[in-house]
Structure 1
Amino acid sequence: MIIDQLVPSSGPGRLREGRKEIEMQSSKISVQIVSPGILSEDTLMLGESHLKKWQIPQGQTVQLKFGAYRDNVKVIPVQRYDGMRISQALAGRLGLHAPCTLRMRYRRASRQLVLGPLIGVLVSRDYPNSPDRPFGSITSFCKELVDAARIQGASVYFLTPAMLGGSVSRLDVWVYADGWRRAKAPAPDVVNNRLTTRKLENKTSVQHFFKEVKSRFGTQVFNEKFLDKSEVFSALRKQPSLGRYLPESHLLGGFPMLKSMCSRYSTVFLKPVRGSLGKGIIKIVRLPSGGYAAHHATSLGTRRQQFPTLLKLYAAISGKLRAARYQVQQGLNLIETGGRPIDFRALVQKNGSGEWIVTSIVARIAGGQHFVSNIARGGTLSTVREAIAKSNLAAGRQDASARLRTAALQIAAGVDAQIPAHFGELGIDLALDTSGRVWLLEVNSKPSKNDNTPLSATGIRPSVRVMLLYARHLAGL
């Protein structure tokens, strides 16, 4: 889970730079929907200043583009007016149901008037019988996206895998217009994939949707796939500069590999390759008195079992190991406070220039009865500075935060370079050992947003603003 307002690391200057670069490419314009009979479907009215700025031919036909929608329209200038007026019929085809603010640019070579960006957010499920909270715990996040899009001059809608399967050029979606409602809209310029399970992501309808909107409309889909732990570590090992962040880690192939790792390290972790929220993690500790202890992460705390030999321990957990693929990872001597391990979650996003920035870093302190720091397992959040001040870090306190940021950016760039998929934001879990060395624990391609994540003082979190800036960058608006 990400708390964006804790330790924002990109700085407002970087956000302003991204906004400024995009705004030079487009105009922000208010769009009014006029009553039937005033305008025909193939005509729109545009403030004269915009026609002059963009050199749009008056009274001539140009192509209007909004997401996947493309059709010819005639542009009529309006003096002493700074917006755009369209008919109700045209608004319906665009999927617009209320006055709004959008970005506009004119491509003279192709005589194309582009409105947008139109952003689709793919979420796991909806609850049509709960009109005030149609997306359950993430409804607040969805409304926050709507509000941020209105400020930046974008249009955002939401859809679920269950809403796919028909035409990809005209979709069933959820929009917000004085309340949540179902509507029809063109396929978007950009899709943010926020599906929370691999089962949903791998559905035929979802994969068909991704393939079709990319190939037919040039739609950009980001965070298009889940990552698993072995995939990430294998990919990052290909870049020698990242080796210093990677604990020794292997896909568990059987007892000989576990025995080899336990002979080199007094503590190792077994982690489900596709696990999340600390589920299924087993910590194996070689005991000074002989034998081994297995610590299991559960929702109620840590369950401990002791075995005289590693082979007996392996036999006891072999059923769990057969049920899922596991990664065996070197145990680390993490910094802690009051005996509770500390790790760090960095939210790394691409900004309005398409560059990786660190939007936030938070420290996560494991709960009293847990060895994992996930909030779902009783962990608590802290600022990086406070956590380090309270920790047993022996060296490197002054620049620890900067080194965490540097590692997060380098790892994000490594994922981008080595894994063939499009990512726009990553949750990167890092750790510090007591000597001050930075280690990578995990990379999450679906950082969560829900009602338990407080809003910023302005009501819109930095991560939401940056996500929209990146979507505008992808759409060229």
Structure 2
Amino acid sequence: MTKMKVMIHVYSTGFIEDGQTLFLSESFMRNRKIPEGRLITLRYGSFIRQVQAFPVRSSGELRIHQQLARDLGLHHGTQLRLKYHPGTLTLRIGPLIGVLVSRIDPDDADKRFGAMTAYCKELTDACRSQGAFVYFFTPGDIEHGKDRIEGWSYNGSWNKAYFPLADVIHNRLTSRKLENKPSVQYFVKEVKSHYDASVFNEKYLSKNEVFQALTRESGLLKYLPESYAFKNYRILKTMCEKYRSVFLKPARGSLGKGIIRIMKQADGSYICHFTNVNGTKREQFASLSQVFCAISGKMKTMRYQIQQGLQLIEIDGRPVDFRVLVQKNRHGRWSVTSIVGRIAGSQQFVSNLARGGSLCTVSEALSKSNLNSHQRGSVYPRLKASALEIAAGIEAQIPYHFGELGIDLAVEPDGSVWLLEVNSKPSKNDNAPLSSQRIRPSVKRVIQYSLHLSGFRGEES
């Protein structure tokens, strides 16, 4: 099987004007032994059609009529990869990537995808440079039993069109409610089973799910704070007797919302800090039973995880943690794309940007913090190694397909590394490397992994 990159040339006039004829470089057809004028199979995502190929002198082009381009949803000038399999007389172009997003506003040209718009444009630019095509669609665009879908692509402006079902689908839904819709679940199952598509980052991960799964990996226990599903007063009492501070975290929370820190005082009372829309609220309780009464109402509407409190390293009294973005690379293996330090905002005990936190480089975080000076040289490689081990553990123990994970790690002053949480839908802002590159490495890696999944990986001939 051989491959190359080609530029799509769409023509509208000529002697032959139909959707069953295409023109390829004469040398390419000769070298790959593509039979001239005979029927071969053209594949592009779920699109399959019998076509005839004829040679032309120009190289690096695939000429198709506008009728065929319309069926494929392709623009003039699109650069794609091409593979020919002589045994089956099959010509594949691609890869075709579909990104499932939560919302599209057809009336807002500048913010077509809301906060995701800049990322969608960046992903489009990355595809253009690497020889791939991407379109974006929502759960509302899904039509069962159809081998194509209506979505949006960018060609100087955002345009709506029909596209074949993609070779690779990247789930960027930011709502558990949308992700759990029966129509979405059925669609994911259908494209995998009927069209052999790959779907990655299939689902949100809950904190309880992650910690329960990773406890089955003995080599990861050293990274796991003691943690349980919070069910009753007995668990609260046991944890508060064992640790000076404990955290209650919503099992399905994000952006630091709803986290409660409970700290035992020398006089036996307890200080609780609650994150809310206005920042952090502080309350004092005379006893643990009073604490439980104050928080038990929350348990009726939300599941919580209770976790051992950690003494994070600090900069000027502000806790610091680390977001490690791990992604599958062009070889299908986990690799670290970026690590950033996150400093909690003033009067905050969580580091999320949405809570007033700020980013810094790892070296800045380690050098300015109260980390033991003897540990500074070894912490960075241990952050990388632990993130890769945790990603492998997630893959081994949770039966869903993930291509990228945001892994939040804590470091204590003695250099100990702990897992805080794993996010299967890492924010495209919160984990951004501190650079001004037009296309971030994290975006390029999404395309590289999609090339691997679709079978288009490798150097062009």
Q: Same fold (TM over 0.5)?
A: yes
Whether 1:448 and 2:461 are equivalent positions in the alignment is no
Q: Give the C-alpha shift of residue 449 in structure 1.
A: 2.0
**Mapped contact 1:132–1:179 kept (Cα < 8 A):** no
2:397 maps to 1:426: no
- Measured in 2, the distance between the counterparts of 1:418 and 1:378 equals 34
The residue that corresponds to 1:439 in the other structure is: 418
User: Is the contact between residue 140 and residue 451 of structure 1 (CA under 8 Å) also seen in structure 2?
Assistant: no
CA shift, 1:216, in A, is 1.2
Does the Cα contact within 8 Å between 2:2 and 2:85 map onto a contact in 1?
Answer: no
Q: Which residue of 194, 200, 206 maps to 1:222?
A: 200
Q: 1:452 to 1:179 in 2, by over 3 A?
A: farther
The one of 257, 263, 266 equivalent to 1:279 is 257
Specify the SS of the correspondent of 1:373.
coil
Give the AA of the match of 2:394: V
- Tell me which residue corresponds to 1:149: 127
Compute the displacement of 1:169 (Å).
0.7
1:312 is paired with a residue whose SS is helix
2:68 pairs with 1:90:
yes
CA deviation map 1:78-120 (0-9, x unaligned): 1243311001111111111332100000112221100000000
Aligned to 1:16: none
Partner of 1:33: 10
Counterpart for residue 21 of structure 2 = 43
Partners of 1:285 and 1:37 lie apart in 2 by 78
Matched position secondary structure for 2:111: coil
| 2:289 aligned partner | 311
Corresponding position of 2:143: 165
1:175, 1:181 within 8 Å by CA — same for their partners in 2? yes
Q: Secondary structure at the match of 1:74?
A: strand
Q: Secondary structure in 1 aligned to 2:136? A: strand
**1:407 and 2:386 matched:** yes
User: 237, 247, 251: which one pairs with 1:269?
Assistant: 247
Percent identical residues: 53
Residue in 2 that maps onto 1:3: none
Amino acid at match of 1:31: I
CA RMSD, Structure 1 to Structure 2 (Å): 1.6
Shift of 1:165: 2.9
Shift of 1:455: 9.0
Written as runs of structure 1 = structure 2, the 5 A alignment for 1:129-278 is: 129-278=107-256
User: Do 2:324 and 2:338's aligned partners in 1 also have CA atoms closer than 8 Å?
Assistant: yes
In structure 2, the partner of 1:398 is 377
Give the counterpart letter for 2:109 in structure 1: P
2:459 equivalent in structure 1 = none
Residue aligning to 1:13:
none
| 1:342, distance to aligned residue in structure 2 (A) | 0.4
Question: Does 260-269 or 455-464 show the bigger shift?
Answer: 455-464
Higher relative contact order (CA 8 A, sep 6+): 1
Provide the rounded CA distance (Å) in 1 between the counterparts of 2:115 and 2:432. Answer: 10
Letter in 2 for 1:407: S
Q: Aligned AA for 1:32?
A: H
Do the aligned partners of 1:67 and 1:187 also contact (CA within 8 Å) in 2? yes
The alignment of Structure 1 onto Structure 2 pairs a total of residues equal to: 454
Q: Distance in 1 between matches of 2:94 and 2:320?
A: 43
Measure, in 2, the Cα distance between the counterparts of 1:55 and 1:424. 36
Distance 2:433 2:68 in 1: 38
AA matched with 1:347: L
- State the 1:181 CA deviation: 1.1
User: C-alpha offsets along residues 180-206 of structure 1, whole Å, 9 cap, x if unaligned?
Assistant: 011011000000000001100011221
SS in 1 for 2:375: coil
5 Å-filtered alignment, 1:336-351, equals 336-351=314-329
Q: Distance in 1 between matches of 2:2 and 2:393?
A: 29
| Distance of aligned partners of 1:230 and 1:286 in 2 relative to their CA distance in 1, 3 Å threshold | same
Q: Secondary structure at the match of 2:205?
A: coil
In structure 2, give the amino acid aligned to 1:284.
I
- Residue 301 (structure 1) shift: 2.5
